[in-house]
Amino acid sequence: MAALTGTELELVQKTDILVSNGKIAAIGEHDATAGAEVIDGRGLVAIPGFVNAHVHLNDSPLKDIGVGRKMQELVDPTRGLKRTGLAGLSLEARADAMSSALAEMVAAGVTTAVNFHEEGSAIIKMLCERSANAPILINLCRPPSYSDTEAIRGNSGYSDKEIASFSRTLEEFDGIGLSGANEYSSLAMEQISMLGGGFRAIHAAESSETVAVSRRITGMSEVERVIEHYKPHLIIHMTNADEHDIRLAAGKGAAVVCCPRSNAILGTGSPPVRQLLDSGMNIGLGTDNLMINSPDMFREMDFMSRISRLSGLDPAAIASADVLRMATAWGAAAVGISGRTGALRAGLDADIVLLDLNGRMAGTRDIWSSIVHRAGPDDVVATIKKGVLLHETPRAMRLN
């Protein structure tokens, strides 16, 4: 079996991966331990499981509800189609749709998905009960209320009661994932940042319109505001961030997740990938809202590679290996889990995807480019999470 190993995704043409207690125990040529379960890796390449660093599972039942509409019409947290469209659906129907989306991700090689959740934990608990794939999720929550323009200008914050309530909600999640910077006053962001939620993420500079609104109301860009008042570990999009925004975020150690297919279908632009890379920021990839995108990281990588080259009219603008790192090792670093997953390395979780080299990638002369530009879910032979086989095709031959 071939494998792309370490955070640099170094190609090893012939190797074995030993898994014990959910961790990668060793990588190299080994004889099978007596009684161990063996997957025949001939004709396959092992890669790290994909990290879908930004996804909204909650709108799974609303697929393609608003293609052709503007961003705010769809995702405004108080008036958007996403909110109104879910209003008449039962929790059961929504959980079923979310479970189906999880299965789709796992079948396409995703072993970690960072889910930005817009409400309480009830639907998440139901999802965990219904889906064997729920362990791939890192769930981020947000407060149940938002600041209007008057509150932002007056810098009104949350009451002690509201903060206490959100703090209890936060105990059931893995961190905080706020909507746009224009939905929170500076004081509200500061209050949220002081809670013990660990990981903090937020959307910013997704569109030129949201950037203009922030400057009109506060005199600052979205990125400037969130860096000063929220201190995020992760910023989603930055599609319309300028050089100052990028330098500021990079200087404060924030990472970024790009969602190029979402940006394209909403007409908000394309991520400034070259500038982000040059800044040294950790860059992850995400498929964003289920209602406008499939949660397919192969499609995301392919589009990211192509749009990055097109934007600068430069075929050398980005390396295919770097795009694959965004979907694996760099994505894991961006969301703060590089010590657990994102690479094939001894000691990390055994989050492994096996791809068929005898199908669309047959004859490859550049394995990284073939995975980014040619491979797809049909090439996934097996998806393994912490040593557990979550998805397999008949090609995943087990030997005992």
Quick one: DSSP state of residue 144?
S
Cα separation, 191 vs 304, in Å, equals 35
Question: With 80 as the cut, is the pLDDT of residue 36 above it?
Answer: no
Residue 312 confidence (pLDDT): 77
Evaluate the CA torsion angle 66, 71, 73, 79 in order and state its sign. positive
Residue 399 confidence (pLDDT): 47
Question: With 60 as the cut, is the pLDDT of residue 398 above it?
Answer: no
| Band of pLDDT at residue 394, cut at 50, 70 and 90 | confident
State the span(s) of the chain assigned CATH 3.20.20.140: 50-334
Q: Within 13 Å, how many C-alpha atoms sit on residue 121's CB side?
A: 18
pLDDT in tens, 352-393: 999 999 999 999 999 999 999 999 999 999 999 999 999 999
Residue linked to tokens 């079948």: 107
Taking CA atoms, 72 is separated from 206, 226, 232, 377, in Å, by 11, 20, 23, 31
Mean pLDDT, the chain, whole residue set: 94
Cα separation, 169 vs 197, in Å, equals 10
State the span(s) of the chain assigned CATH 2.30.40.10: 2-48+343-399
Q: Quick one: tokens of 395?
A: 């090609």
Q: Which CATH number fits domain 50-334: 3.30.420.10, 3.40.47.10, 3.40.50.2300, 3.20.20.140?
A: 3.20.20.140
- CA nearest to 327, candidates 17, 4, 2, 1: 4
In contact, 127 and 99? CB cutoff 8 Å? yes
Question: With 80 as the cut, is the pLDDT of residue 397 above it?
Answer: no
Cα separation, 374 vs 357, in Å, equals 11
CATH of domain 2-48+343-399: 2.30.40.10
The count of residues in the chain is 400
Cα separation, 153 vs 343, in Å, equals 45
More confident residue, 77 or 51: 51
Write down the pTM of the prediction. Answer: 0.96
